[in-house]
Amino acid sequence: MQGWVFRLAAFGLAHHAPEGRAEPQVTGGMSGIRDLLSQHVFVSVGMMLIAGYYLGRGCALIRLPEITGYVFAGVLLGESFLGIVPAHMSANMAMVTELALGLIALTIGSELSLVKLRLMGREVVLITVLQLGGVFAVVTFAMWAAGLVLPLAILLGAIATASSPAVAVAIVQSLRAQGTFVELMYGAVALLDVGSVVLFGIAFAVAAGMLGLAGPEIGGAALLGQAVAEVGWSVALGGLAGLLLHYAVRRRRLPSEVVVLTLGAVFLVTGAAIILHLSPLLINMTAGAVLVNLSPRHHRLFRGLEPLTPPLYALFFVIAGSELQLAVLARTEILLIGGAYVLVRNLAKYGTVYAGCVLAGTSRTVARNLGFCMLPQAGIALGLMLMVQASPLAAEMTPGQVQLVETMANVVLLSVFVNQILGPPLTKRAVLAGTAREF
């Protein structure tokens, strides 16, 4: 059980290429062309970038964010449609996902300066605590009322609290938005992701006990203690990485030198986190916060990375789209429970963020729009779901319990699909409205 909380949940997705996979055989017709195109990762990457570009531009023409086009490109190229990017191919591109999320986390951390936190720390904490508690309680009750057994309803309630930082960062960078609204959004997303993983650790321990799966050697207190320890070690390693990078770049004048050192640091700490079963997301976030608080000159570090991010983010979202399975939508049971889950989660998200903003005394504009930025859900939610399926406790489940867990997994997949499509346009609209007076 060592490192169970962050091993799969850190970046949301654990990619593993199947062992002993035979090379695809070229056959005739359309399937032959598809098999030929899927034989090398470079072909898949090239098609992902080109398809993502054109579909992204098409979405921009109808005033949708380019991210939506990237996701559609992934769905089109994935196994649900053309099959040009099969599951094993997206698994081979795990490094792209990990690097993109590392840079996203570093960017979020760069917004957490002590000066800004002194001004809005109370607001960020209040919004996050209300969101965590409110969404968890409402979704848990709704899923239990919809017919799921209470342990699985508790797990879905915990997973529902997670939001996707990738969508927020990508849209803010594409709009070049800045100001109080963006700072508050980054702070809330950063704190929320940490809270979601710790909350899930508690929920998992409770659910395992209710299902009779957790023996005395893996009690709830032990699971919770392990989750807290991994958060602490991740913050410590991130702080050390930020400090070392600060000394490495502070006297470098050439932007190219700064970019090389920064990318090297992101690769290094991300790989170390995965090996040590810590959270790369939290480590890079902490490193970004340390850098920006040690010297305001480090903003040049983040500006230097901006030219690298468009193709990386495009690939990230196309890969995410390719992993969405539309077959999930074919089952009536999943549509009903999943539809209820999506509706209740999104209403609870918006409502709790709005209430938090009102109690914190933020402006009306922030209160009306910030909740929309919390709706996207992807990597972390899927990672938490995968943690349930890959946990050693899964081996002790009865066939009936395994079927219930599969139902829960499909509900999460449906939520990710819907929120990956609806979330980016709503987030873009919210960021434009929230920063309208600050451009």
The answer to whether residue 439 is domain-embedded is: no
Domain limits for position 32: 28-92
Tally of residues, the chain: 439
The answer to whether residue 5 is domain-embedded is: no
**pLDDT for position 398:** 62
**102 and 42 together in one domain:** no
Core vs surface per residue 223-257: b (16+ CB within 10 A) or e: bbebbeebbebbbebbeebbebbbeebeeeeeeee
For residue 26, the 8-state DSSP code is P
Among candidate residues 2, 103, 10, the one with its CA nearest the CA of residue 386:
10
Q: Do 44 and 76 contact (CB within 8 A), yes or no? A: no
CA-to-CA distance for 182 and 15, rounded, in angstroms?
A: 31
**338 and 368 together in one domain:** yes
**376 and 386 together in one domain:** yes
**376 and 399 together in one domain:** yes
Two structure tokens written together for 180:
């109080």
**163 and 73 together in one domain:** no
The answer to whether residue 22 is domain-embedded is: no
**pLDDT for position 136:** 93
**pLDDT for position 8:** 40
Among candidate residues 190, 206, 124, 215, the one with its CA nearest the CA of residue 157:
206
Among candidate residues 134, 126, 169, the one with its CA nearest the CA of residue 309:
169
**79 and 192 together in one domain:** no
State the greatest distance between any 2 C-alpha atoms of the chain, in Å, as a whole number. Answer: 65
Segment 38-45 long-range contacts (CB within 8 Å, at least 24 positions apart): 38/83, 38/84, 38/85, 38/86, 38/89, 41/89, 41/92, 41/93, 44/77, 44/84, 44/85, 44/89, 44/93, 45/93, 45/315
Q: Last residue of a domain, which of 60, 92, 124?
A: 92
> Tell me, what amino acid is at 208?
A
The answer to whether residue 127 is domain-embedded is: yes
| Cβ neighbours around 43 below 10 Å, total | 15
**What's the number of CA atoms in the CB half-sphere (13 Å) around residue 321?**
30
**157 and 176 together in one domain:** yes
**199 and 233 together in one domain:** yes
CA-to-CA distance for 97 and 312, rounded, in angstroms?
A: 8
Q: Last residue of a domain, which of 92, 120, 137?
A: 92
| Cβ neighbours around 151 below 10 Å, total | 22
Segment 215-220 long-range contacts (CB within 8 Å, at least 24 positions apart): 218/1, 218/393
The answer to whether residue 23 is domain-embedded is: no
Return the sign of the alpha-carbon dihedral for residues 378, 160, 185, 279: negative
The answer to whether residue 13 is domain-embedded is: no
**pLDDT for position 68:** 75
Domain count along the chain: 2
Look at the block and give the residue holding tokens 């873009």. Answer: 428
For residue 12, the 8-state DSSP code is S
**pLDDT for position 386:** 57
Q: pLDDT tens digits for the chain (439 residues)?
A: 434 444 444 444 334 344 444 444 444 455 655 566 556 677 778 888 888 888 888 877 877 777 778 878 887 887 777 777 766 666 667 777 777 778 877 877 776 777 766 666 788 888 888 999 999 999 999 988 887 778 888 888 888 888 877 777 778 877 877 788 888 888 888 778 777 777 877 777 777 767 665 544 445 556 566 667 777 888 888 889 888 888 888 877 787 888 888 888 888 888 888 788 777 777 888 888 888 888 777 677 777 777 777 787 788 777 777 766 666 666 777 778 888 888 999 999 999 999 988 888 888 888 888 888 888 876 666 666 655 655 555 555 666 666 666 677 777 777 777 877 788 888 888 888 877 755 4
**218 and 315 together in one domain:** yes
CA-to-CA distance for 135 and 197, rounded, in angstroms?
A: 14
CA angle 85, 381, 100 (to 5 degrees): 55
Q: Last residue of a domain, which of 54, 73, 92?
A: 92
**pLDDT for position 20:** 43
**What's the CATH code of the domain at 257?**
1.20.1530.20
**54 and 151 together in one domain:** no
**336 and 194 together in one domain:** yes
The answer to whether residue 19 is domain-embedded is: no
**pLDDT for position 255:** 77
The answer to whether residue 418 is domain-embedded is: yes
| Cβ neighbours around 70 below 10 Å, total | 30
**248 and 304 together in one domain:** yes
